[in-house]
Amino acid sequence: MKRLWLLLLLTSCASGPAYSELPEGTQIVVYRPSDFINFSSRFWIEDNGTEFCRLHNAAFVVHQVEPGKHTLSSSNWGSVGTSRISFDVKLGETVYVKMDMNGERALTGAIGGMIANAGDEAISSNGPVYLGNVTREKALHELQGLSRDCQ
């Protein structure tokens, strides 16, 4: 019975079809490779202060945007701080952002996250995850096997 519950938990983490082809357009693709640390946590992702996804482990989201400056931020309930990255998106361009766990922050746990999130000092560029721009080639390679999320 325990194995059945574990199987259900692991299969429920992937919420959409696997990567095949990305649509064309002015967009930001954020992806989170499979990682054991915080594998069951979902990370909130905001674009210029508006939440557009709570991204699962081993998943990606395609976010259609207007051209211009964008600031992505990410956090979750049990982690310390907020991670941020800013960039410009040109008309028709796809920007790829990889989300990697910040192990130093991820291991602080839920209690540390609640205490730190109570104050403004919790907001920093060094939050629970690293957000980084990656090339199209690297992103397309790493998207293989990930599930589309937040459709």
Selected residue with higher pLDDT from 3 and 44: 44
Q: Are 64 and 52 in contact (CB under 8 A)?
A: no
When the pLDDT of each residue in the chain is averaged and rounded to a whole number, the result is: 76
Which of 1-10, 32-41, 80-89, 126-135 has the lowest average pLDDT? 1-10
Residue whose pair of structure tokens reads 């649509």 in the numeric block: 23
- CA–CA gap between residue 127 and residue 11 (Å, rounded): 28
Span 68-78, pLDDT tens digits: 999 999 987 76
The pLDDT assigned to 113 comes to 44
Asked if 83 contacts 125 with a C-beta cutoff of 8 angstroms, the reply is yes
The pTM (predicted TM-score) of the whole model is 0.73
The model's pLDDT over 87-138, given as tens digits with 9 standing for 90+, comes to 999 999 999 999 987 654 444 444 444 444 443 333 345 677 889 999 999 9
Q: How far apart are CA 35 and CA 58, in angstroms?
A: 7
